[in-house]
Amino acid sequence: MQSLLIAVVLVLIIGIYLFQPYKVNGESMVPTLHNNERIYVSKLMHTFSYLPDYGDIVILDSRVDRPYTFKDAFLGHPVIQFIAGVEDGRTNYVKRVIGKPGDTITIKDNKVYRNGAALDEPYINGPMNYNTDEVWNVPEGSIFVLGDNRNNSLDSRKMGNIPLDHVLGIKVF
């Protein structure tokens, strides 16, 4: 019994602070990732509060309207959900980092511009059908994210900038 308890504690620590598998839900990252695909995420970025790089694929807690807490991380762990027999009701999003603190993001002529320069985005799923006069200034402690399937993605265009504490990790494979 003691060995089982130690194993569960280790799995929780690893999953909360170091490394965790996730399942992609939806088509927002096509063609890079597909619905129901399994990915593995390093949580060191979240644990040690460092910024992801441009182009990194990140996992986000979608509840950006409130602070993310240790309780959220604990209750969202698959082992805890399995033991409790319930899910915590959150949705995790998989998106690509486009903007970091201090950046200005604009979208015109169906292209994304960061600090006035058009981005070369060979990973997107065809031309984006989206234009706006809106300008997003990325504040300290936040990032700007978009899905690779720009015409079918709920991302920073609607959600706004994502607080870094809601970035749960970076896809490693």
Select which of 28, 142, 153, 156 is catalytic.
Answer: 28
- Cβ neighbours for 42, distance < 8 A, ≥ 6 positions apart: 18, 19, 169, 170, 172
Q: What is the dihedral of CA 119, 171, 159, 141, to 10 degrees?
A: -90
Work out the end-to-end distance of the chain between its first and last CA atoms, rounded to an integer number of angstroms: 34
Select which of 42, 43, 49, 95 is catalytic.
Answer: 95
Q: Which of 100, 16, 124, 119 is nearest to 51 (CA)?
A: 100
Catalytic residue list contains 95: yes
DSSP 28-51: TTTTTS-TT-EEEEE-HHHHTT-P
Q: Helix, strand, coil % (nearest 5) of the chain?
A: 25, 30, 45
Residue 52: exposure state from Cβ atoms within 10 A (0-12, 13-18, ≥19): buried
Supply angle C-alpha 83, 62, 112, rounded to 5: 145
Show which residues are catalytic.
28, 95
